[in-house]
């Protein structure tokens, strides 16, 4: 049977995973059947590679992985296919500006999330996502001495502060090389423009010899918008933000906790005539 769409790229947290960061048995079975019928599937996440592997390894899916949005793209054996992260020197001026504003920052460098100090925000991130490595030097000294490349800068704070910071960094402070977005009202995520999820989708389509029009992308937040716009069909889950829904071709009537992604794949790809 020929699948109507050949590639599915899906955000992880808030989109295909439930609020416990788990995939239901129905979702796993649906994705596995899609792959077994010849489809290609990719998880696309802001998580670091170790963190995404940790929450997906038990499902043993023959899929692709995009981490740090699309700073790194890997195959099912975790072989690196493409790297789009940023040089440390590119990020230092922005990090200094955020430091001057006394922001809570986690920098993802060489697949390790680093923080300068422990706080309720970083501890909350650790409980929800993955451990953080706390350093004993300021970022402006530590990063040039210890890290070669940065996958992502994550700023954490209360909703009003993150909104103000989002406006601040988007007001000409990112230059031509960086891109910012919100995966959560308490998160501001900054990556190299070449590692946006939309660029990752386009690269993977080209690598696999699949036209963008033959891809489907699922998301729930503003950092997924570029991916939804580049895909043949961009789909927002019911719990997605207003910005994500506005960019989508389809808005599901089920949330991530209701297996919205799996139901759509089952009904529109696996059962399509």
Which tokens hold the place of 67? 């981490």
Given a contact cutoff of 8 angstroms between Cβ atoms, the answer to whether 241 and 203 are in contact is: no
Instruction: Return the CATH class of domain 7-84+195-270.
Output: alpha beta
Share of the chain above pLDDT 70, in %: 97
Asked if the model's pLDDT at residue 273 lies above 50, the reply is no
12 conformational bin, left if phi > 0, alpha if psi -120 to 50, beta if neither: alpha
Q: Which of 128, 123, 95 is nearest to 109 (CA)?
A: 95
Residue 183, pLDDT score:
86
- pLDDT of 122-176, one tens digit each? 999 999 888 999 999 999 999 999 998 999 999 999 989 898 888 887 777 777 7
Residue 19, pLDDT score:
93
- CA separation for the pair 3, 180 (Å, rounded): 34
- pLDDT of 64-116, one tens digit each? 999 999 999 999 999 999 999 999 998 898 899 999 888 999 999 988 999 99
Place of tokens 């729930």: 220
Given a contact cutoff of 8 angstroms between Cβ atoms, the answer to whether 11 and 218 are in contact is: yes
- CA separation for the pair 13, 220 (Å, rounded): 9
Residue 179, pLDDT score:
83
Find all residues with CB under 8 Å of 227, minimum gap 6, and list them: 9, 11, 44, 196, 197, 198, 200, 201, 217, 219, 234
Q: Work out the pLDDT band at 265, boundaries 50, 70, 90.
A: very high
Asked if the model's pLDDT at residue 52 lies above 90, the reply is yes
Residue 3, pLDDT score:
62
Asked if the model's pLDDT at residue 62 lies above 50, the reply is yes
The alpha-helical segments, DSSP class H, found in 15-60 are 25-36, 49-56
If residue 265 lies in a helix (H) or strand (E), which one and from where to where? helix 260-265
- pLDDT of 213-225, one tens digit each? 999 999 999 999 9
Q: Work out the pLDDT band at 272, boundaries 50, 70, 90.
A: low
Share of the chain above pLDDT 90, in %: 76
Enter the DSSP assignment of 270: I
If residue 245 lies in a helix (H) or strand (E), which one and from where to where? helix 242-247
Given a contact cutoff of 8 angstroms between Cβ atoms, the answer to whether 151 and 108 are in contact is: yes
Asked if the model's pLDDT at residue 2 lies above 60, the reply is no
The domain ranges of the chain are 7-84+195-270, 86-193
Q: Work out the pLDDT band at 231, boundaries 50, 70, 90.
A: very high
If residue 203 lies in a helix (H) or strand (E), which one and from where to where? helix 197-208
Asked if the model's pLDDT at residue 184 lies above 80, the reply is yes
Q: Which fold has domain 86-193?
A: 3.30.1240
Given a contact cutoff of 8 angstroms between Cβ atoms, the answer to whether 37 and 43 are in contact is: no
Enter the DSSP assignment of 49: H
Asked if the model's pLDDT at residue 22 lies above 90, the reply is yes
- Mean pLDDT within 168-185: 80
Asked if the model's pLDDT at residue 1 lies above 50, the reply is no
Place of tokens 């059947």: 33
Residue 154, pLDDT score:
95
Q: Work out the pLDDT band at 181, boundaries 50, 70, 90.
A: confident
Given a contact cutoff of 8 angstroms between Cβ atoms, the answer to whether 148 and 88 are in contact is: yes
- CA separation for the pair 164, 195 (Å, rounded): 24
Place of tokens 């010899």: 209
């Amino acid at each position: 049977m020929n699948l109507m769409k050949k590639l599915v790229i899906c955000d992880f947290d808030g989109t295909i995973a439930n609020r416990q960061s788990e995939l239901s048995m129905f979702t796993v079975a649906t994705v596995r059947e899609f792959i077994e019928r010849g489809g290609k599937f990719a998880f696309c996440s802001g998580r670091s590679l170790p963190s995404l592997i940790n929450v997906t390894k038990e499902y043993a899916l023959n899929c692709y992985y995009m981490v740090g949005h699309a700073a790194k793209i890997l195959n099912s054996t975790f072989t690196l296919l493409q790297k789009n992260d940023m040089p440390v020197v590119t990020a230092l001026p922005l990090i200094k500006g955020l430091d001057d504003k006394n922001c809570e920052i986690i920098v993802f460098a060489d697949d390790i999330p680093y923080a300068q100090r422990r706080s309720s925000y970083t501890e909350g991130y650790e409980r929800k996502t993955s451990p953080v490595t706390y350093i004993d030097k300021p970022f402006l000294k530590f990063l040039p001495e210890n890290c070669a490349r940065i996958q992502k800068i994550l700023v954490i704070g209360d909703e009003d502060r993150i909104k103000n910071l989002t406006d601040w960094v988007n007001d000409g402070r990112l230059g031509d090389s960086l891109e910012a977005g919100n995966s959560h009202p308490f998160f501001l995520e900054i990556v190299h423009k070449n590692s946006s999820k939309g660029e990752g989708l386009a690269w993977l389509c080209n690598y696999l010899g699949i036209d963008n029009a033959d891809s489907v992308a699922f998301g729930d937040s503003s950092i997924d918008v570029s991916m939804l716009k580049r895909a043949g069909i961009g789909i927002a889950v019911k719990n997605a933000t207003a910005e994500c829904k506005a960019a989508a071709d389809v808005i599901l009537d089920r949330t991530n906790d209701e297996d919205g992604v799996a139901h759509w794949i089952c009904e529109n790809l696996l059962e399509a005539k």
